[in-house]
Structure 1
Amino acid sequence: MTRLLFSSLIALALAGCGDASPDDTIPATATPVVSTAASSPAADPALTAALRDQIMVDPALVQQANADVVRPPTQPQSGAVPPSDIAAAAHAQPAALSATSGETLRSAPAATGNCRQCAIARQALTLGALAAAQGGRAGQCAANVDYSAGWANRLPRGVPLYPDARVAEAAGADGAGCALRVVSFASAAPMQRLLDYYYTKASDAGYTAEHHAAGTEHVLAGNRRGGGTFMATMRARADGGTDVDLMADGG
């Protein structure tokens, strides 16, 4: 009986050894965990500043950053930029001039003031908006324009693409009574050469042509008996070349 009681006491003592709490099992010499949160003094100051600073947004690019959202963008995306060195090379202007050296160009009439089209072209953000601002059939067809560089090869005979043209963007619309072409390009030729070129080409094709100007912007525009209009908006480049927005409808 005494032996049985002694065995029971030993069993109870051993069972009590397993009741220690988890906290009692941590060694006294364990290394404490250091927080690496941005709010901790031990965090990297540069990382903390980067995480807390506001995100910078370019308002000019916001409208082109929503290609995958449900609501479509308000204007077509375009990364097209006219080449900045279009006329910088020493041979650029001679090459542009020699491209039409075999033709006899007539001088465009002198510019007159009150250039309403100059203000319209300055405010238009896209080629479609430029066409829409003209009103009439061109304005109606502008709602259906499609953007593709291929439209630059489909201009009417009376207002062709200038021989050395570097196309930046082109748009057009066909069908349902539309034959709209709008092309933006740069040329190494000086503005007067382009004015004479399009005046001669348009006149030979039966278009009337009027020349208006406002500051450094010039517009050559006209229409043709039986239908068809054209407009060439030109701006001189700092390198001696010319930027052109050419529009033809029903040619």
Structure 2
Amino acid sequence: MASSRGLWAATGMAAAMTLAGCGAAPRDPDAALAAALAKDTADPLIRDTLTMPLATDPDLATQANVNAIRSSPRVAGNSIPRPLSRADAASALPTRDGKRLAAPAAVPASPCPDCGPDGPATLGALARELARRTPAACHADPAHRLDYALPWAERLPPPFALFPGAALMDAAGAETADCAVRAASVAIAASAQDVIDHYYTQARRAGYTVAHQRLGSHAMLIGARARDKGGLLLIARTAPDGGATVDLVVSESR
């Protein structure tokens, strides 16, 4: 009988322990981590990693969606063309009288006091440099800042539309009572020389007087058109992959 009572007692204790275990709340590792991060004693390396902003590099835009099955969505109503190969970009270029014009040999440009190693740092600075180099062309009021938005690239004058297959990185524009300014930064698979020859041909075809200059190690086109006080400034840089990055700004009277 005593052994039976001992057996029943052991069984009861085991059942009680089982029930107690069922009632315990499961451990939430996410909640424990959140509580630790909320304390001053949390690991500062983890806290800084979770709270620091994400880094982006617009110069790598041409490498986006390389292996995608479908193209990326449009941005703010403005399409970003899929980059073309260098051969395809060259074959897509328009010509004048059956062939593209070759820009003359570059001459040294006058100094650019506000430029960095790669030229003007922003599209706004590029527009100010255009005003300094082409005083006869129309320009936005210096107090009127450019509005930065990708759709401005779609409003570039037709002769200076985006290069075939260009990947748009930035765009800006402004409109005053008597002048319209359009600017864009792009990455292009074609070489810097192809870019210079293309826009030189386009500018000459549109009635611009154009000069090919060299600003440091970069190629530059500077142009003007008297009939509408038009102005053009373009800087082309050779990219590490053999392509080019290009900044251009165009102004025309309204």
Counterpart position of 1:228: 230
Counterpart position of 2:124: 128
Aligned residue identity for 1:127: L
2:97 is the counterpart of 1:95: no
Counterpart position of 1:74: none
Counterpart position of 1:8: none
Return the structure number with greater relative CO, CA threshold 8 A, min gap 6.
2
2:101 is the counterpart of 1:106: yes
Q: Give the match's secondary structure for 1:97.
A: helix
Q: Contact (CA 8 Å) 2:151, 2:171: kept in 1 or not?
A: yes
Q: Give the match's secondary structure for 2:107.
A: coil
Counterpart position of 2:168: 167
Q: Contact (CA 8 Å) 1:118, 1:213: kept in 2 or not?
A: no
Deviation of residue 203 (structure 1)? 0.5
Instruction: Say what the alpha-carbon RMSD is for the aligned residues.
Output: 3.8
* TM-score, normalised via structure 1 length: 0.62
Specify whether residues 101 and 144 from structure 1 end up closer, same or farther in structure 2 by C-alpha distance, changes over 3 A only: closer
Give me the whole-angstrom Cα distance separating, in 2, the residues matched to 1:142 and 1:235: 29
Matched positions, count: 189
2:249 is the counterpart of 1:247: yes
Q: Percent identity?
A: 33
Listed as ranges, the gaps of 5+ residues in structure 1 are: 1-46, 65-77
Specify whether residues 142 and 110 from structure 1 end up closer, same or farther in structure 2 by C-alpha distance, changes over 3 A only: farther
Give me the whole-angstrom Cα distance separating, in 1, the residues matched to 2:196 and 2:165: 15
Q: Give the match's secondary structure for 1:221.
A: strand
Specify whether residues 171 and 82 from structure 1 end up closer, same or farther in structure 2 by C-alpha distance, changes over 3 A only: farther
- Deviating beyond 6 angstroms after TM superposition, the runs of 4 or more aligned structure 1 residues are 52-56
Specify whether residues 158 and 180 from structure 1 end up closer, same or farther in structure 2 by C-alpha distance, changes over 3 A only: same
2:167 is the counterpart of 1:189: no
Give me the whole-angstrom Cα distance separating, in 2, the residues matched to 1:79 and 1:176: 36
Give me the whole-angstrom Cα distance separating, in 1, the residues matched to 2:242 and 2:111: 25
Specify whether residues 50 and 123 from structure 1 end up closer, same or farther in structure 2 by C-alpha distance, changes over 3 A only: farther
Deviation of residue 112 (structure 1)? 0.8
Q: Give the match's secondary structure for 1:250.
A: strand
Specify whether residues 244 and 142 from structure 1 end up closer, same or farther in structure 2 by C-alpha distance, changes over 3 A only: farther
Q: Contact (CA 8 Å) 1:159, 1:230: kept in 2 or not?
A: no
Deviates further, 109-118 or 233-242: 109-118
Specify whether residues 152 and 53 from structure 1 end up closer, same or farther in structure 2 by C-alpha distance, changes over 3 A only: closer
Q: Deviations over 1:9-33 (max 9, x none)?
A: xxxxxxxxxxxxxxxxxxxxxxxxx
When Rg is computed on C-alpha atoms for both structures, the one with the higher figure is 1
Deviates further, 159-168 or 118-127: 118-127
Listed as ranges, the gaps of 5+ residues in structure 2 are: 1-39, 68-83
Q: Contact (CA 8 Å) 2:174, 2:180: kept in 1 or not?
A: yes
Q: Give the match's secondary structure for 1:223.
A: strand
Q: Contact (CA 8 Å) 2:140, 2:175: kept in 1 or not?
A: no
Specify whether residues 55 and 148 from structure 1 end up closer, same or farther in structure 2 by C-alpha distance, changes over 3 A only: closer
5 Å matches for 1:1-251?
48=41, 50=43, 80-85=58-63, 92-100=85-93, 104-117=99-112, 120=115, 122=118, 124-135=120-131, 137-138=138-139, 140=141, 143-226=144-227, 227-250=229-252
Aligned residue identity for 1:165: A
Q: Contact (CA 8 Å) 1:129, 1:142: kept in 2 or not?
A: no
Q: Deviations over 1:61-97 (max 9, x none)?
A: 8xx9xxxxxxxxxxxxx974452548x99x7111111
